[in-house]
Amino acid sequence: MSQWTEGRIVAHKQWTERLFSLSVEAEDIPYEAGQFIKLALPAGDQMLARAYSFVNPPHERPYEFYYVTLPDGPLTQRLCRLAAGEALFLSHRAAGFLVLSEVPDAEHLWLLATGTGIAPFLSILGSDTPWRRYRRVVLVHAVRFAAELTYRDLIASLRARHEGRFDAVSIVSRERAEGALAGRIPQAILDGRLETAAGIGLSAPGSQVMVCGNPAMVTDTVHALAERGMKKHRRRSPGQITVENFW
């Protein structure tokens, strides 16, 4: 178990039947806001592990992770039964490139997420970096049902703390929800509703866009953004779109 550090659960919040947040105390693990590590539990002589993004920014403790249980997920079915005081193992090294050190400067920063893909963006928003580098920041959280619009108190506190510089847009696809757009992120981009809701434009070169969510959303969103003249950002070929597939 040399690649693992043992942590202890200090809180376990259930949002819905399938959505949970784990708070874990453990030794310091260096990471950049937006990165992930692996969480693991022993399974015989091996470790059952899966990658999860940090919700908390690097300067805050305890560590927090947001996850969805899967009916056939051997790890998540065990995670959701853990209680405060029980052990959970964390990998020593963080990974991932959904970080602002990989994103160019711009006037506006858009963070587009589905489901638990909001986790790395909450970590980024809790750090100082986006507020030093971008004039306006917009968080978009798309879910199936209104009950899955989690972390609303945290988002409200960010809006109050960064008044005039931050806004959040909710999108709900499978029911009508007060205060939320209907449908999916790609369509809301194509028909202009997303920009109207945020009150700012979404186009190159004034915007940088980070996208995190299920692969179908990521693919469709990249295509929709291409209609606005945007392309994926690469170190050797600068662009406006940074993505991470997230389940």
Amino acid at 201: G
The predicted pLDDT at position 1 comes to 47
Q: Find where tokens 């002589």 sit.
A: 45
Beta-carbon contacts of residue 128 (< 8 Å; ≥ 6 apart): none
Q: What share of the chain is helix, strand, coil (3-state, %, to 5)?
A: 25, 35, 40
- Comparing C-alpha atoms, which of 77, 52, 65 is closest to residue 25? 65
The predicted pLDDT at position 204 comes to 85
- Comparing C-alpha atoms, which of 8, 205, 212, 231 is closest to residue 96? 212
Provide the residue-wise pLDDT of the chain in tens; the chain has 247 residues.
479 999 999 999 999 999 999 999 999 999 999 999 999 999 999 999 999 999 999 999 999 999 999 898 899 999 999 999 999 999 999 999 999 999 999 999 999 999 999 999 999 999 999 999 999 999 999 999 999 999 999 999 999 999 999 999 999 999 999 999 999 999 999 999 999 999 999 988 899 999 999 999 999 999 999 999 999 999 889 999 999 987 6
Tell me if 138 sits within 8 A of 110, measured CB to CB. Answer: yes
Residue 238 CB neighbours (<10 A): 11
Kindly list the structural domains of the chain, giving each domain's residue range(s) and its CATH number in brackets, ordered by start: 4-91 (2.40.30.10), 100-245 (3.40.50.80)
- DSSP letter for 234, please: B
